Structure 1
Amino acid sequence: MQPIVQPFFDPVTGTVTYVVFQSGNQECAVIDPVLDYDPKAGRTSTTNADKVIEFVHRRELRVQWILETHAHADHLSAAHYLQRELGGKIAIGEHIRAVQGVFKKLFNLEPEFRLDGSQFDHLFREDEAFSFGGLTARALYAPGHTPADTAYLIGDAVFVGDTLFMPDVGTARCDFPGGNAHTLYRSIRKLLDLPGDIRLFMCHDYPPEGRKPEWETTVLAQRMHNIHVRDGVTEEQFVSMREARDATLAMPVLILPSVQVNIRAGEFPHTEENGTRYLKIPLNAL
C-alpha cells in the first residue's frame, strides 16, 4: 500500500504536518499538526492548522486519527483545535505518561492534572496495529529524543517524528529530560532495518544554507548518507558525537510554552478566575 501523503511545512518552526490517506477512500489521518504561537505577545493563531482544514474539506476527507509522534518542544500542537473542527481521535504513544510526570513537577501543574495520558483519546502500545481508509498502520516505539517518541508505519511510509532528519542534517538531540543517545541509536537502527525502499517522512527540516526544505527520503538513503548514523557508524561513535553536539545546543525557543500544551493533547490550561489562561515560565530550571 502506498498512501497519498500531503505535507504542510511551517517555516517558522521547521515542522511538517501531514495528511495521509488512500486514493479512493475518504478516511484520513493528520500527523503532528502545528498551532501558531507568537512568544513575544503570548498569542496563538491557526494559520497552519487552517490550511490543513481547507485541504481536508476540499478533498472531502474524514479525519479518523490525529497522531502525535511525541510531546514536541518546538511548536504547540493544534490537535485539540483540529479535533474540534474536523473530529477524529487524538493519539500518542503510551509512554507520554512518563513525560507528563517529569513536566508536571517542573511546571508545578495543578493537582488535578492526571499522569495517565487520559488527555488523549488513545495511547498506542509498542507495535500496536491500527487502520483507517483501507490503510494498515503500526505504532513503532522509537525513544531516545524523549522517552515517549513513536513513529508511525502506514503502508510503505514511516513518519519518524524526531528521530531522524534529512541525511544532510542528521539526527535529533537527546538532552531533553528522559532523552538518551544510546536509546536513540537503537531506535534509529530498528527503523533502518526496514526495507530500503520504505519512504521516510521527517517531522522537521532545518536545511543547510543553499538547500530548500525537504522532508521525504528513504531507508536506503539514510543508511548510505545520514551524516550522523549511516551504515558503519557504531553506537559508541554516535553517542560520542551526539552528546558532544547536544552540549553546544541552546534550548528550543518554544520548549517552555509548547510542552505545557502538548502534554495536554493540545489543550490550553484551565481559565483562571480573571478569565485568562496562563503558561508558566520556570526560572533557572532548565
Structure 2
Amino acid sequence: MAGKPEVTAFFDPRTWSVQYVVADAARKKCAIIDPVYDFDEKSGQTASANADRLLEFVASKGYTVEWILDTHPHADHFSAATYLKKKTGAPTAIGEKIKDVQKLWKSFYNWPDFPADGSQWDHLFADGDTFRVGDIDVRVMHSPGHTLASITYVIGDAAFVHDTLFMPDSGTARADFPGGSAKALWNSIQAILALPDDTRIFTGHDYQPGGREPLWESTVAEQRAKNSHMSKLRTEAEFVAVREGRDKTLPMPKLILHSLQINTNGGRLPEAEANGTRYLKIPLDLLNGAPWG
C-alpha cells in the first residue's frame, strides 16, 4: 500500500481510548478514526470535548476531513461520528457486518422498528474494499473476533486495528461480547501479522499496565516478537484456551449497555421525548454470567 500518512493520536483517559487523525499532509486531506463522544454515566451528562479537540487540531492544520471512520461498534464509549459529520459534512463509514450486530442488539433492546440495515452510516465497507485519504491508498480488512463487525484500516504503511491487538505488553482484546469469538480473533490477528514487518500498528485502547504512560504505536515485527499473547501462544487451540479463560474473569465494560444503543445507531443519541429529555434504555439481566465488577 503506497504512502506514509501523518498519524496524530488523541488519548482519552476516561475511557482509555485512542482517537486518530490520519492525514495526507501534502494534500491537506485527512480521516478521523474512532472519535469519542463524552458521557458521564454517574450524572448522565454528555459533552463534545474530545470531538472538539479533534476539530481544533484539523483546523490548525488546515486539513479537510474526507472520512469519519469507526473500526467497530464500541462497547466502552459513545462514537462521535454523527456529531463530527454535522460539523464537517464528511461521510461516516464502518464495516458492512454492522448489520449483523444491529440485528443482535435490536432484539436485546426490544426495538422492533429499528432499521438493522446499516443505513445510519454513509458507507459500509466490505473486506478488501479500497479507497483513499488524499493520495494515500487505504485497504479494508474484515477483522472479526472482538465483535462481528470489527475491521482494520490499512492506510499506507499504517494499520488501525483497534480491539484486536493491544500494545505488546498488553496482549490481545477480549472476545466474549455477544457475537465475539476467540477463534475468529486468532484468525484476524494472523492476517494482521502477515502484513509487512515495518507496518505501523495503531491500537485503539491502552490501559497503562504498571502505571506507565499511554502508548499506542508499534510495528508488525514488534507485535510478532513481543506481544504477550502472540509471541507465546503458537497455535489456535492454545490461544483460544488462554483467551477464553481470561475472558471468563473479566467484568463487562461499565458502558456496554449504554454504548451499544448509541453505536449501533451510528453515534446518534436517543431522540428527546415529549418533555425534551433523552433517555437511555438498559436491559436488566441480559448479560447473565458475567463477573460482577
TM-score normalised over the length of structure 2: 0.95
Aligned mates of 1:231, 1:248 — CA distance in 2: 21
Amino acid corresponding to residue 150 of structure 1 in structure 2:
I
Amino acid corresponding to residue 150 of structure 2 in structure 1:
D
Aligned mates of 2:74, 2:28 — CA distance in 1: 28
Partner of 2:52: 50
Structure 1, residues 159-202: CA drift from partner, whole Å, max 9, x if none? 00110000000000000001000000000000001111000000
Partner of 1:203: 204
Partner of 1:16: 18
Aligned mates of 2:45, 2:198 — CA distance in 1: 42
Partner of 1:73: 75
Partner of 2:143: 142
Amino acid corresponding to residue 125 of structure 2 in structure 1:
F
Aligned mates of 1:228, 1:272 — CA distance in 2: 47
CA distance change for structure 1 residues 160 and 212 in 2, over 3 Å: closer, same or farther? Answer: same
Aligned mates of 2:125, 2:84 — CA distance in 1: 20
Judge conservation of contact 2:233–2:239 (CA < 8 Å) in 1: no
Aligned mates of 1:255, 1:285 — CA distance in 2: 11
Partner of 2:113: 112
Partner of 1:171: 172
Partner of 1:227: 228
Aligned mates of 1:177, 1:279 — CA distance in 2: 20
2:101 corresponds to which of 99, 102, 110: 99
Within 5 Å, give how 1:117-266 maps onto structure 2: 117-230=118-231, 233-266=234-267
Aligned mates of 1:234, 1:144 — CA distance in 2: 16
- 1:261 positional shift: 0.5
Aligned mates of 1:231, 1:64 — CA distance in 2: 40
Judge conservation of contact 1:16–1:202 (CA < 8 Å) in 2: yes
TM-score normalised over the length of structure 1: 0.98
- 1:231 positional shift: 6.3
| Superposition RMSD in Å | 1.0
Aligned mates of 2:270, 2:134 — CA distance in 1: 33
Could you tell me which runs of 5 or more consecutive residues in structure 2 were left unpaired when the two chains were aligned.
288-293
Percent identity between the aligned chains? 53
Instruction: Check if 1:59 corresponds to 2:65.
Output: no
Judge conservation of contact 1:223–1:231 (CA < 8 Å) in 2: no
2:85 corresponds to which of 76, 83, 96: 83
Aligned mates of 1:231, 1:134 — CA distance in 2: 38
CA distance change for structure 1 residues 85 and 166 in 2, over 3 Å: closer, same or farther? Answer: same
Partner of 1:27: 29
Aligned mates of 2:40, 2:233 — CA distance in 1: 42
Structure 1, residues 56-84: CA drift from partner, whole Å, max 9, x if none? 11111111100000000011011111111
Stretch deviating more after TM superposition (166-175 or 266-275) = 266-275
Aligned mates of 1:78, 1:47 — CA distance in 2: 10
- 1:123 positional shift: 0.2
Amino acid corresponding to residue 191 of structure 2 in structure 1:
K
Judge conservation of contact 1:205–1:215 (CA < 8 Å) in 2: yes
Partner of 1:267: 268
